[in-house]
Amino acid sequence: MHIDEIKNGLVLDHIKAGKAMEIYRFLDLGSLNCPVAIIQNASSRKMGKKDIIKIDGVLDIDCNILAPICPDITLNVIKDGVRVEKRALELPLEIKDIIKCKNPRCITTTEQELPHIFRLRKTKESIYRCLYCEARAEL
């Protein structure tokens, strides 16, 4: 298998095996006008198996929003074919209007203009709860 090197873009590495397509849909990468490569079930000494997403284009997103989906992701920034930055993502303390509360009794169900806000409650388990009803976020 041959996947070209990235000139300028991002590499999302250390994605839990099987989660790459979820991240692909979450970031709406199919709407980009640049090459996107998804590598699934790649061998990893650290994880056994992992997924990788390579994006040969510049994205203007806060990648920390991916941390609740897969906390072990590392972000590699590529410029002129060289990795210029590698960082682990951090769990945001608050997620706003990215996911919706699934509780049918939550006030956000009837008050449509309210923002959907989830706060981090347990860092180790990546558990987020709705600000209004305390329902657990489904990531």
Does 80 reside within a domain?
yes
CA 14-19-20 angle, to 5 degrees, is: 75
User: What pLDDT shows up at residue 6?
Assistant: 87
User: What pLDDT shows up at residue 1?
Assistant: 58
In this prediction, residues 94-108 reach a mean pLDDT of 91
Distance CA 136, CA 139 (A): 9
Does 3 reside within a domain?
no
The verdict on 61 and 116 lying in the same domain is no
Q: Which residues contact 35 (CB under 8 A, 6 or more apart)?
A: 4, 54, 55, 56, 57
Q: Which of 72, 23, 12 is nearest to 48 (CA)?
A: 72
User: What pLDDT shows up at residue 61?
Assistant: 72
The answer to whether 53 touches 12, Cβ cutoff 8 Å, is: yes
The verdict on 28 and 84 lying in the same domain is yes
The answer to whether 46 touches 14, Cβ cutoff 8 Å, is: yes
Q: What is the pTM of this model?
A: 0.78
Does 139 reside within a domain?
no
User: What pLDDT shows up at residue 136?
Assistant: 94
Note the pLDDT tens digit of each residue in 41-100: 998 888 899 999 999 987 777 777 788 888 889 999 999 989 999 988 888 999 988 889
The verdict on 60 and 27 lying in the same domain is yes
In this prediction, what percent of the chain has a pLDDT beyond 70?
Answer: 98
Number of domains in the chain: 2
Query: In which order are the strands placed within the sheet that holds 74-79?
Result: 36-44, 48-55, 9-16, 74-79, 82-88
pLDDT at 15 over 70: yes
Domain that holds residue 120: 94-130
**Tokens encoding 121:** 């409650």
The verdict on 84 and 98 lying in the same domain is no
The verdict on 123 and 81 lying in the same domain is no
Task: Compute the residue count for the chain.
Answer: 139
